[in-house]
Structure 1
């Protein structure tokens, strides 16, 4: 109730603060490096990572230090991973769904990891649209790409982002929590879909210079955590 009231009463302030943040926040590029390949030794498996700027690795200079590289580094001693990264800065759940629908049907991945939602928060995606998109994303990945599991990584704690001034930080952070709760409900309704409440430590050591994206240490912790979750599921499967 208070959130919706604040949305109405402080809309002009939120708009002004958002415009200011976009103007002063450094625009970091996506990291260089491979976005597809085969990595590691062991039992064969396949992995697709999709999403927005954090999935793409914004905040580090090379993919080996980003989410994909951190996951592969953790998995590589036990699995031979055929992997691919399909992520783009600025994408919302709607844009991600459109890209998935356009993928070729001959592509198959056992596991799909998705990090999406920050741009849905800032772009004011409705709750209905968000849940519809996530449900269709998971269903399409299973039916079209043969995904055995879809791992939705939780939105980061936007209420702690140092780049955001108050009360905008609180407002966006509250919405991020709401989208996380909705994503968890979506995943509970589909047995192959899993909501992963990822550990996002908020300390200046873990934040990129823009005050908005993960830094190398955060990507390492995040990637290793997702790799552990995936390895547990793969062990059960095998």
Structure 2
């Protein structure tokens, strides 16, 4: 989106952003395990990395969140050793810092959920692309990741918590971020973009109108499991 198109809206967008932060309920990260071993079969070392959605905000427990549903779907075919490195509000730069500070180890597959906080934080597309490149390189070189799944940004232009025109502006930025992500991933054999569709209806959204519900986490986990197993 060209800056000249949004410049006249800047004061209104700022006020709407402040309003959304004030009135939107801040849901907690759900309780539950963030690492463990489960299942039978071939060994699979799995890392889930990212933001509040990766951390399961919107679900009541980690069992109902992305991590819990994903490991359950994989556990019939794999002996999974898994870890969840995610937190509410975390962006790409902060996730990269987490990786840089963590001790080196090995993961067969990494599922990433990042981008929404980068969109709302106002970073440029070039910065976004460079951060995804750094994430992929760090995961590949330091953590020996064989499969890196970048989850596409959700359709922010449909988020109930966002008023117009803020919803339109952030949604347009999210689409641009996705286009940039897809172009970047197309240059790497070890990366994929994970797309999944969930209707923007009450059952598929958390109470804050911003995060997924456990139903949507189930759809996400199903698509992630298919993508992880498809390369075997």
* TM superposition score normalised by structure 1: 0.95
Corresponding residue for residue 163 of structure 2: 165
Maintained 8 Å contact 1:157/1:200: no
In structure 1, the gaps of 5 or more residues are: none
User: What number of residue pairs does the alignment pair up?
Assistant: 232
CA distance in 2, matches of 1:125, 1:198: 24
Match of 2:36 in 1: 37
Runs of 4+ in 1 over 4 A off after TM superposition: none
RMSD value over aligned CA atoms?
A: 1.0
Structure 2 CA distance for aligned equivalents of residues 204 and 19 of structure 1 = 24
Match of 2:8 in 1: 9
Q: Residues 5-53 of structure 1, C-alpha deviation per residue, up to 9 Å, x if partnerless?
A: 3321101110000100000000000010000000111111110000000
**Aligned 1:58-69 pairs, distance under 5 A:** 58-69=57-68
Match of 2:72?
73
Structure 2 stretches lacking a partner, 5+ long: none
Choose the corresponding residue for 1:214, options 209, 212, 215.
Answer: 212
Normalising by the residue count of structure 2, what TM-score does the alignment of the two structures yield?
A: 0.98
**C-alpha contact (below 8 Å) 2:66/2:218 kept by paired residues:** yes
CA distance in 1, matches of 2:137, 2:150: 13
In 1, Cα distance between equivalents of 2:200 and 2:229: 26
Q: How does 1:39-54 map to 2 (within 5 A)?
A: 39-54=38-53
Q: How does 1:57-206 map to 2 (within 5 A)?
A: 57-105=56-104, 107-206=105-204
**Deviation string for 1:181-201 (max 9, x for gaps)?**
111111111110111122232
More moved, 75-84 vs 189-198: 189-198
What does the per-residue CA deviation read over 1:123-167, in whole Å, with 9 as the maximum and x for residues that have no partner? 001111100000010011000001001100001110000000011
SS of 1:5's equivalent in the other structure is: helix
Cα separation, 2, equivalents of 1:186 and 1:103? 25
Q: Show CA shifts across 1:173-226 (max 9, x none).
A: 110111011111111111101111222321111000000000010001111111
Q: Distance in 2 between matches of 1:192 and 1:102?
A: 23
What is the CA–CA distance in structure 1 between the aligned matches of 2:188 and 2:100, rounded to whole Å?
Answer: 19
Q: Give the structure 2 partner of residue 225 of structure 1.
A: 223
For 1:95-128, what per-residue CA distance to the aligned partner results, in whole angstroms no more than 9, with x for missing partners? 11111111111x1111111000000010001111
